[in-house]
Amino acid sequence: MSSAFNVIATLIAKPGQQDILEPLLRGLLEPTRQEAGCEQYDLHQDLQHPETFYMLERWRDDAALADHDQSAHIQSFRTKAADVLAHFELKRLKFLA
């Protein structure tokens, strides 16, 4: 049985800051997609609430996500986004059907 799992990361920009947050999030796409264990990493924006972004992710296992969390590009993102990010939530999901 596979230990792969899906993740939905919700990131909400502070009011008026989504135009700053979006390119920071886009900058995570390519380096993350190159990481060992990353099977999917896609950015979406809520049509009704444009300050809200979602990363839809799939990871091979817990270790791959843990490595991602410690990567240089994620650490850099956290520093750069600190002043524009109002909310961050990560949900791990088990695929059922």
Q: Identify the pLDDT of residue 2.
A: 65
Domain residues for the domain of 16 are 5-93
pLDDT higher than 70, residue 83: yes
pLDDT tens track for 65-78: 999 999 999 999 99
pLDDT value, residue 4: 93
Give the global pTM: 0.94
Tokens, residue 30: 């390519």
Q: Is pLDDT of 97 > 90? A: no
- Domain containing 71 — which CATH number? 3.30.70.100
- Section 9-18 average pLDDT: 98
Query: What per-residue confidence (pLDDT) applies to 41?
Result: 98
